[in-house]
């Protein structure tokens, strides 16, 4: 099958990107720059060399094999000019270098998916994630079409910061749409993600007319969006979606910190709301008759009836 795209990683036997056992394909490229993102290696559409300083012995092999003679990790100017060819990664004796991103064909991706197919059972399947997978629209369409031909369940994880006329034709190929609603306040959304939420909110309203099952998610970031007002506004909108299966609250975790350093970026520190706060926010969402989960665990506390 023709077509290729930039893939950051393919995670097999994933349990957190949709129902059942799944193969998650992380695509590179994203229009957002969420300050708490744990996958910064998916920001760029291009492949990049990640330098893990703790493993580096400063042997100079990278400079010797690099077509441009660059020395990874020491010179930011060299890093900016990196060709992404991967020669330094292949020859690094200490495995201090990692290539984030590789160009794969649809057949490359499908072959790994087919290997996992026996483990999917009745619920599992494939999830396309990122980054923002929709930015590689034709590649995504080809993978979804191939999965449909193989009778494999498909899901997409998206920010919904994408033109609706380009998203809508993909919907018949998607069995589950998982989307993020990060921050309600527009100014704050722009500040912490780099874009406004105008298009995102518009697309969420359009989802009221789709037949696909939906899952909404909000990362809970201490001091940013962990207020009852924020969650109430989000829940009120989500309650208008007839096919919404559940609303997932995902407390912040700092798992991507080392990736930032390996890419020469600086990670912004955030805090995780405590359990009391998490439950209070979940309770607020429950008032809007949503099925609410925190990190995958259903929250069943019955709130007072609203009038």
Cα distance between residue 235 and residue 154, in whole Å: 26
Q: Kindly indicate the confidence band of residue 82, based on its pLDDT and cuts at 50, 70 and 90.
A: confident
Q: Identify the CATH class of 48-100.
A: alpha beta
* Model confidence band, residue 1 (pLDDT cutoffs 50, 70, 90): low
User: What's the pLDDT tens digit per position in 111-141?
Assistant: 999 999 999 999 999 999 999 999 999 999 9
User: What gap in Å lies between CA 238 and CA 285, rounded to an integer?
Assistant: 9
CA Rg value for the chain: 21
Confidence of residue 76 (pLDDT cuts 50, 70, 90): low
Q: Which fold has domain 4-43+107-298?
A: TIM Barrel (3.20.20)
Ramachandran angles phi, psi of 278, nearest 5°: -60, -45
Q: Is the dihedral of CA 130, 136, 141, 143 positive or negative?
A: negative
Beta-sheet strand order (sheet of 292-294): 102-105, 4-14, 22-27, 125-129, 153-158, 176-180, 214-220, 244-251, 292-294, 297-299
Instruction: List, by residue range, all CATH 3.20.20.70 domains of the chain.
Output: 4-43+107-298
Q: Which of 280, 228, 224, 284 lies closest to 252, judged by CA? A: 224
Cβ–Cβ under 8 Å, residues 272 and 222: yes
pLDDT score, position 83: 84
Q: Is 291 left (phi over 0), alpha (psi -120 to 50) or beta?
A: beta
Q: Where are the alpha helices (DSSP H) in 194-274?
A: 198-206, 228-238, 257-262
Tens digit of each residue's pLDDT (9 = 90 or more) over 17-75: 999 999 999 999 999 999 999 999 999 999 999 999 999 999 999 999 999 888 876 56
Phi-psi region of 221 (alpha: psi -120 to 50; beta: other; left: phi over 0): beta
Residue 127's pLDDT is what?
Answer: 99
**Angle at the Cα of 42 (from 292 to 24), degrees rounded to 5?**
55
Compute the mean pLDDT over every residue in the chain, rounded to the nearest whole number: 94
Query: Quick check: pTM over 0.95?
Result: no
Domain with CATH 3.30.70 in the chain: 48-100
pLDDT band for 307, please (50, 70, 90 cuts). very low
Model pLDDT, residue 290: 98
């Amino acid at each position: 099958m023709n077509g290729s795209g930039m893939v950051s990683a393919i995670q097999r036997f994933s349990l957190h990107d949709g129902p059942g056992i799944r193969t998650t394909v992380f695509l590179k490229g994203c229009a957002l720059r969420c300050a708490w993102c744990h996958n910064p290696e998916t920001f760029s559409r291009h492949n990049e060399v990640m330098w893990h300083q703790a493993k580096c012995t400063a042997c100079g092999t990278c400079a010797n094999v690099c077509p441009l003679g660059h020395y990874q990790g020491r010179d930011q100017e060299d890093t900016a000019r990196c060709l992404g060819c991967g020669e330094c990664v292949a020859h690094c004796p200490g495995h201090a270098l990692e290539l984030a991103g590789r160009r794969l064909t649809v057949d490359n991706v499908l072959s790994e998916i087919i290997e996992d197919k026996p483990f999917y059972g009745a619920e599992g399947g494939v999830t396309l994630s990122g980054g923002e997978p929709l930015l590689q629209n034709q590649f995504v369409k080809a993978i979804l079409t191939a999965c449909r031909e193989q009778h494999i369940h498909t899901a997409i994880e998206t920010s919904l910061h994408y033109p609706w006329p380009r998203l809508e034709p993909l919907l018949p190929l998607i069995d589950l749409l998982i989307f993020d609603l990060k921050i309600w306040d527009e100014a704050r959304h722009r500040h912490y993600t780099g874009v406004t939420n105008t298009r995102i909110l518009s697309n969420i309203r359009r989802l009221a007319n789709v037949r696909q099952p939906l899952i909404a998610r909000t990362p809970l970031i201490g001091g940013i969006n962990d207020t009852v007002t924020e969650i109430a506004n989000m829940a009120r909108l989500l309650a208008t979606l007839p096919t919404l299966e559940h609303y997932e609250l995902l407390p912040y975790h700092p798992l991507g910190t080392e990736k930032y350093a390996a890419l020469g970026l600086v990670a912004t520190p955030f805090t995780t709301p405590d359990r009391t706060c998490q439950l209070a926010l979940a309770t607020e969402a429950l008032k809007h008759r949503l099925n609410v989960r925190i990190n995958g665990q259903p929250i069943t506390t019955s709130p007072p009836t609203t009038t």
